[in-house]
Homo-oligomer: A and B are copies of this chain.
């Protein structure tokens, strides 16, 4: 449903762009090539992108209970078989919702297959993971817990761990009051998802500017926004998250080198087993992108301008001028929102019934 809405918005916006007059030669009076005023640029941007709103307060006591429980589960390393890893390990709430590693370090010091995407604003993505294999945040939350290269746990052990601590049993009962067995792996995932839905980053320079504050973005950022829309970036990176809602081959025009696009990872092909999904990935959401290097599913690129350059080549067949790359990167930095203030939860103490961490 949300996907449809976003695509419709994008289509409308594309039509609106097509109706624009061809860009006149740059004049001092223009705020960006093809846009005379902030209002002109804003009109175009509003058709393509959404604004992040602060998380709503919980609707009721159940939602409040689920958020609180979800925060505990998100931060609890006992959800991994080793006792070392929690959701927070790879989706650090103090570091833009990522781990700032090319690919995550997991159980037994194994190397994860893909760069950890940010948990911030993840609720606005149409699907989760780089290949969209999870429909929503709750389905996503079930993945890393069980992945042998990540938390290496089992649903049964997670449920046994939760059931061993009375404060968890009480929190599940309060969060899922109509259920006979509230402590379940599905409810574990639901509670984490409801906590994650609070992790949004309103107040970015872009959002403030869209909302009418002309001074919120610099002239270079406005030029970058115009380039972002008119060079084609916004064809995939649109919607409230500037991406995250549809799938595209990495290398539409020119396939990047193996370091950036490793041959062994064929992306969405592994999900759909359809030839046309070879090397297809979900367009990365670009909110807070300046906080989340390294870039791409391979995590191979640390510099935002370099990532912009690679994308322009690979997806658009365009060799951007260095100043234009800089302007687009400056604009993208304007997508950094206010980072959530998350209290570190106090976790229930283990009991004699709590499964021990895996022998080490």
Interface residues of A (CB under 8 A from B): 72, 75-78, 82-84, 89, 92-96, 99-103, 105, 108-109, 111, 290-291, 293, 302-303, 339, 341-347, 349-350, 352, 356-357, 360
Give bound CA distance, A78 to B101, whole Å. Answer: 10
Contact (Cβ within 8 A) A105 B84: yes
* Contact of A347 with B95 at beta-carbon distance under 8 Å, contacts A108-B109, A109-B108, A302-B352 already known: yes
**Which one, B339, B343, B347, B360, contacts A341 given CB within 8 A?**
B343
**Which one, B100, B111, B339, B344, contacts A83 given CB within 8 A?**
B100
Contact (Cβ within 8 A) A96 B349: yes
Within the complex, what minimum Cβ distance (angstroms) separates A277 from chain B? Answer: 28
**Which one, B89, B92, B347, B360, contacts A94 given CB within 8 A?**
B347
CB-based nearest B residue for A82: B105
Contact (Cβ within 8 A) B347 A344: no
Contact (Cβ within 8 A) B350 A100: yes
8 A-B pairs with C-beta separation under 8 A? A72-B94, A75-B94, A77-B92, A78-B100, A84-B99, A95-B347, A100-B350, A102-B360
Contact (Cβ within 8 A) B96 A77: no
CB-based nearest B residue for A346: B339
Known contacts A84-B89, A100-B350; 8 further A-B pairs (Cβ under 8 A) = A76-B94, A77-B95, A77-B100, A82-B105, A96-B349, A303-B352, A341-B343, A342-B344
Give bound CA distance, A111 to B109, whole Å. Answer: 12
Within the complex, what minimum Cβ distance (angstroms) separates A330 from chain B? Answer: 15
Give bound CA distance, A75 to B102, whole Å. Answer: 20
